[in-house]
Amino acid sequence: MSSAVHRVRSRRRVRYGVAIALTLVVGLTAAVVGVLTGSFQASPAEVASALQGTGDARTTLVVLGMRMPRVAAALLIGAALGLAGAVFQTLARNPLASPDIVGFSAGSATGALIGLTLIAPTASPAPGAWIGGLLTVAVVMLIARSAGVSKERTILAGIALAILLSAVNDYLLTRAPLEIARNASQWLYGSLAATSGADVVTLALSVGVLAVGIAVVHRDFRAIELGDDTARALGVRLGRVRLFLIVIAALLTGTATAVAGPIGFVALAAPQLARRVTGSGGIPLLASAVTGATVLLVADVIAQRALAPLQIPVGLLTGVVGGAYLFWVVARGRR
C-alpha cells in the first residue's frame, strides 16, 4: 500500500515539475518575442550587445528602457495576480472568487484615482491603490459579517461593491482635468505601455515581500484547504490566518493595479489553469504564480502585435478572454 502511494505521489511530483517547466518555456518564448519584435526591429546580436552594454544608443534605449521593463513588469504583475487569485479561491472554495470579481481591483483603482485626480496628479498611484484595496477588504468583510459570515455573502458583497466603485471611478474621471482624465482613462483599461525600470523595482520588492508573507503561513494555508473544522483541529488560528491572507492578497492586487491599472481575468483563471495542468487536488500557489505571469506576458505580446502599429491595452484583451472564460465556466457547471 505504501509503495503504491509513493508511486502516485512520485507521478504527481513529476507532472507538477513538467507542467511548471513547460509553462516557463512558454513564458520565456513570449519574453524573447516581446524583446526582439516590434516597430523597431533589432536582431538577436543587437539585443545581446545592448544587454551587455556595448550596443548603440537607440537599441539600448528601446531594449533596456522600454521592452525589458515591460516584459519584467508583465511577469511580476501576472505572478502577483495569480497568487492573489489562488488565495481568494482557496479561502472561498469558489473558482469565481478573484480580486476583480469581489471588488478589490476596483477598490485599488478607486484609491489610485483619488490620488491621481484629487490629491497629487504627479505622484505615484501605489499608496492610493494599496489603501483603496485594504479599505475595500474592510468594507466587504463588514458587510458580510453584518449579514452573517458566509463565503457566498462575502462574494456577493464584493460584487455589489465593485459595481458601486466602478461608478465612483467614472465620476472621478468626469471631474478631473482633461489631460489627467485622459491618462487615467488609459490606465483604467489596464496597460503596460508606460512601465519603467523604477516600476519593476517597486514590483519586485513588493511582490517578493508579500510572497514571503504567504510562505510564512503556507502550512496553515494548506490546512485551510482541508476545511475549517480540520484546520481548527490541526491548531490553525483560522480567523487570524484568513484575515492575514486576505490582506496579503489585497496588497498584491493593489501593487499590480498601481503599476498597470485593473487587469481582469488573470487572477480569475490562472489558479484554475494551474490546478488543471498540474493535476493538483487543491490550488497550487507556485504554479498559479507562474501561470499568471505567463498568461499576462503572452496576452501583452498579443496586444502589442495583433493590430500593429496600433497597440491594444492588455486589460481590454484579458477582459474579452475573461468573459469567454466565464461563459465556459457557466456552461460547464450546467453540464
Fill in the DSSP letter of residue 196. Answer: -
162: pLDDT confidence band, cut at 50, 70 and 90? confident
pLDDT reported for residue 201: 92
Closest CA to 31 of 59, 83, 67: 67
Q: Looking at per-residue confidence, does 196 or 1 come out higher?
A: 196
Tell me the pLDDT of the chain averaged across its residues.
83
Kindly tell me if the per-residue pLDDT of 147 is higher than 80.
no
Helix (H) or strand (E) holding 205: helix 197-216
Residue 23 CB: number of other CB atoms within 10 A? 20
Closest CA to 266 of 120, 114, 145, 274: 274
- DSSP-derived secondary structure for 281-299: SS--HHHHHHHHHHHHHHH
Residue 111 CB: number of other CB atoms within 10 A? 26
Question: Grid coordinates 514590483 are at which residue?
Answer: 203
**Among residues of the chain, what percentage have pLDDT more than 70?**
92
pLDDT reported for residue 260: 87
**R_g over Cα of the chain:** 21
Cβ-in-10-Å burial (0-12, 13-18, 19+) of 280 comes to middle
Q: Looking at per-residue confidence, does 278 or 43 come out higher?
A: 278
1: pLDDT confidence band, cut at 50, 70 and 90? very low
C-alpha cell at 308: 500593429
Q: For the segment 305-319, what is each residue's pLDDT rounded down to a tens digit?
A: 877 777 888 888 888
Domain around 263: 2-334
Q: For the segment 61-80, what is each residue's pLDDT rounded down to a tens digit?
A: 888 888 899 999 999 999 99
pLDDT reported for residue 2: 62
Contacts of 62 (CB under 8 A, 6+ apart): 38, 40, 42
Closest CA to 284 of 295, 275, 293: 275
Give the burial string for 119-153 (b: 16+ CB within 10 Å, else e). eeeeebbbbbbbbbbbebbebbbebbeeeeeeeeb
Lowest mean pLDDT among 12-16, 24-28, 144-148: 144-148
pTM value?
A: 0.89
Distances from the Cα of 17 to the Cα of 22, 248, 250, 278, 297, angstroms: 9, 26, 29, 8, 21
Three-class DSSP category at 60: helix
Q: For the segment 266-298, what is each residue's pLDDT rounded down to a tens digit?
A: 998 899 888 888 888 788 899 999 999 999 999
Domain at 298, CATH number:
1.10.3470.10
Q: Looking at per-residue confidence, does 327 or 152 come out higher?
A: 327
Number of folded domains in the chain? 1
Closest CA to 66 of 94, 90, 42, 100: 42
